[in-house]
Amino acid sequence: MSFKPANSIQDLQYFGEFGGVNPSISDSSTYTFLSAKTMFDTFEGNADGCYLYSRHSSPSNLYLGAALAAMEHTETANVTASGMGAITSVMLQLCNAGDHIISSRTIYGGTYAFFKNFIPKFNIETSFVDITKLDVVEAAITKNTKVIYCESVSNPLLEVADIKNLAKIAKKHGLKLVVDNTFSPLSISPAILGADVVIHSLTKFINGSSDTVGGVVCGSQEFINALRNVNDGACMLLGATMDSLRASSILKNLRTLHIRMQQHSKNGMFLAEKFEAEGLKTVYPGLKSHPSHQLFKNMMNTEYGFGGMLTIDVGSLNKANALMELMQHKNLGYLAVSLGFYKTLFSAPGTSTSSEIPEEEQKQMGLSDGLIRFSIGLDADIERTYGVMRKCMLEIGVLKA
């Protein structure tokens, strides 16, 4: 099946109250009912189309959720106040005290910290494994395991998860496969490959303008209903709700995601090839040298490319810091965490976004001191960008003349 996620987004039509080409923003926290009976039914979850209170759902949030569900080819979706709001709600919904999670060991630092430091207080244990080794994943399953958790393309090492085969393992053992697809929107469609739940931090590529945090959970109607249940739903009760104004602005940005991803990928591929040719240790899923290049190719929706994330290893933290400062000085991008902005962003994950991971474990997973993570921007003239970057690298001694 050849799935066209951008078509699915484009084909949705919503109009505003007065025929506006964008849906009206529902600027209300609460909603009136004509009859008390309907209010009661809504609380019981039996009044389709009625709104109750905006922590539960709001028209603006449902519009954005519908578009993201269309993109991920799931029945429905629920938007949240942040990516972490989505991840923590999903895991607390799926796991009870005594349950066990198998997680990739290379994941977003906040998710790692949640599994390692926070969720054990509810007696939920996590085994961190090399997700690229399917036999290791299967061997880690215990009678208490509930969830296999991974990122399609991992942060920051850009390991690629074999979603199809992980889904097979999950099905065989009655587990849920939860995939964070933040690094590869449009490029990879985890639900098509068998994932049960797909999560995004909307903060990154999907919104793309570094002006808000947001998240989404895409899944079955049954699961999303459970998350929103007024009596025991994690999204409803933990309260990580997106604001309607934000939902409407993210929806407008989502409409250009396909163009932006193509440009991020084009620029990412260009720089990765140049860096590698210069002899820099470069990791980018689009390079043949990437251990999971073929796997990514087999999974991808080809027209969106291999994404905008790449890493280089410049040998030491001092060199990494000097290079990043110089590149910022030359206006090549910003020394900042996060990703998916129009401008290139760079950071040293070991001392920033992955600093939650203890040094010893960073070493084991191959997260070295000199690693720089790039989120490649939408630069119109990437050759010029490369020329200036190369000069910076020569000046810092990362490249030899």
Contact positions toward ligand PLP, by CB under 6 A? 82-84, 108, 110-111, 151, 155, 180, 182-183, 201, 203-204, 213, 215
CB of 312 to ligand PLP, least distance (A): 19
Distance CA 182, CA 27 (A): 28
CB of 82 to ligand PLP, least distance (A): 3
291-306 burial code (b ≥16 CB/10 A, e <16): ebbebbeebbbeebbb
CB of 39 to ligand PLP, least distance (A): 33
Distance CA 180, CA 80 (A): 14
State phi, psi for 15 to the nearest 5 degrees. Answer: -115, 155
Joined tokens for residue 215? 């998240």
CB-nearer residue toward ligand PLP: 182 or 244:
182
CB of 339 to ligand PLP, least distance (A): 6
Evaluate whether 152 touches 191 at the Cβ level (below 8 Å). Answer: no
CB-nearer residue toward ligand PLP: 233 or 307:
307
CB-nearer residue toward ligand PLP: 99 or 151:
151
CB-nearer residue toward ligand PLP: 197 or 326:
197
CB-nearer residue toward ligand PLP: 215 or 308:
215
Closest residue to bound ligand PLP by CB: 83
CB-nearer residue toward ligand PLP: 23 or 185:
185
Of 195, 234, 252, the C-alpha closest to 89 is 234
Strand partners, 101: 126, 147
Evaluate whether 52 touches 43 at the Cβ level (below 8 Å). Answer: yes
CB of 375 to ligand PLP, least distance (A): 10
Beta strands in 220-370 (DSSP E): 281-283, 309-313, 333-335, 344-347
Q: Give, rounded to a whole angstrom, the gap between the first and last alpha carbons of the chain.
A: 49
CB of 316 to ligand PLP, least distance (A): 25
CB of 201 to ligand PLP, least distance (A): 3
Vertex 128 angle, CA 127 and 130, to 5°: 130
Evaluate whether 156 touches 350 at the Cβ level (below 8 Å). Answer: no
Q: What is the largest CA-CA distance in the chain?
A: 78
CB of 42 to ligand PLP, least distance (A): 30
Of 156, 382, 169, the C-alpha closest to 270 is 382
CB of 109 to ligand PLP, least distance (A): 9
> What amino acid occupies position 165?
N
CB-nearer residue toward ligand PLP: 50 or 245:
245
Q: ω into residue 156 within 30 of 0, thus cis?
A: yes
CB-nearer residue toward ligand PLP: 216 or 389:
216
Measured from the Cβ of residue 96, the count of other Cβ atoms closer than 10 Å reads 12
Evaluate whether 199 touches 87 at the Cβ level (below 8 Å). Answer: yes
Alpha-carbon Rg for the chain in angstroms: 21
Distance CA 348, CA 345 (A): 11
CB-nearer residue toward ligand PLP: 339 or 389:
339
Distance CA 389, CA 395 (A): 10
CB-nearer residue toward ligand PLP: 184 or 301:
184
DSSP letter at 121? G
CB of 335 to ligand PLP, least distance (A): 17
CB of 270 to ligand PLP, least distance (A): 23
CB-nearer residue toward ligand PLP: 132 or 203:
203
